[in-house]
Amino acid sequence: MSLYESLLQVDFENVYKTYADNLARKNQLFRFTTYFIIAPYLVIISLISTKNLSLDALSNLNAIPPIIYLVALITGVGMLLPLFQFVENDDNLMRCARAINNFRKLYNNSITANHEWSVNLPTNMSYPKERYIFSSGTITFLIFYSVSTLYYTTGTFGLLNNKIFSLYHFIALFIFESIGILIYFKTGKSKEFTDSDHCERDA
């Protein structure tokens, strides 16, 4: 095996290991973030089971105990920490996938030059894109971030004795939701990682 082939093999193994590690961490963070989503409901169930909260109180939004609003606030803010890490792992996953496609293209070109056969797997170095609007990672982020925004705005309004689901609440919800989504899509556009012409030149 030549030095070039040895370096190529080591590089590919490292890229694939990074891909597998990010995939595992992404799945773990997905499960961890779902625990935050159900946390307020677990608190409500525990309060009802200990008879510290009645079902009738839940029907009146103004009579909900402050502890529930506090839990919603803490949960909503706490969700952001694993969610940001989820986004980073998803970005790394997409970049590693493109690197693997690049390696696959190298040996695919070598094979097709001598045989009438080609790899039936992606060889496009510009695919997949991170933070693509219809990708599973983006859809997951949008859902989790929407829940997080709903939780911490509801908790804040409830603790301040303001009416939840009022006009002001929906305005605050819209503003924070828009800011988060705008930052998500803007910060994900790195020319170094997303320019297909750049990839072609490096190849």
How confident is the model over 118-164, as pLDDT tens digits?
A: 666 677 777 888 899 999 999 999 999 999 999 999 999 999 988 88
Answer for the pair 67, 42: CB distance below 8 angstroms, yes or no. Answer: no
User: Which carries the bigger pLDDT value, residue 107 or residue 33?
Assistant: 33
* 109 found inside a domain: yes
Q: Is residue 2 part of a domain?
A: no
User: What mean pLDDT do residues 1-12 have?
Assistant: 71
Task: Answer yes or no: is pLDDT of 198 > 70.
Answer: no
40-64: average pLDDT: 83
**Mean pLDDT for the stretch of residues 56-64:** 76
Is 6 part of any domain? no
Amino acid residing at 12: F
Q: Is the pTM of this model over 0.75?
A: yes
Q: Is residue 5 part of a domain?
A: no
Q: Is residue 187 situated within a structural domain?
A: yes
175 or 9, which is more confident: 175
* Parent domain of 127: 15-202
Distance of alpha carbon 94 from alpha carbon 138, whole angstroms:
12
**Predicted confidence (pLDDT) at residue 184 exceeds the cutoff of 50:** yes
**Per-chain mean pLDDT for the chain:** 84
What contacts 86, CB < 8 A, 6 or more positions away?
26, 29, 30, 33, 137, 140, 141, 144
Alpha-carbon span 2 to 71, nearest angstrom: 60
193 is a domain residue: yes
pLDDT at 112 over 60: yes
Looking at residue 129, its amino acid is: K
- Taking the C-alpha atoms of residue 143 and residue 148, their distance in angstroms, rounded to an integer, is 9
Give the pLDDT confidence score for residue 115 in this predicted structure.
64
Q: What is the domain count for the chain?
A: 1
Does 186 fall in a domain?
A: yes
State yes or no: pLDDT of 76 exceeds 60.
Answer: yes
9 inside domain: no
pLDDT value for 102: 84
Residues 93 and 26: beta-carbon distance below 8 Å = yes
**Residue 34, pLDDT score:** 94
Q: What percent of the chain has pLDDT over 90?
A: 49
Q: What pLDDT shows up at residue 4? A: 63
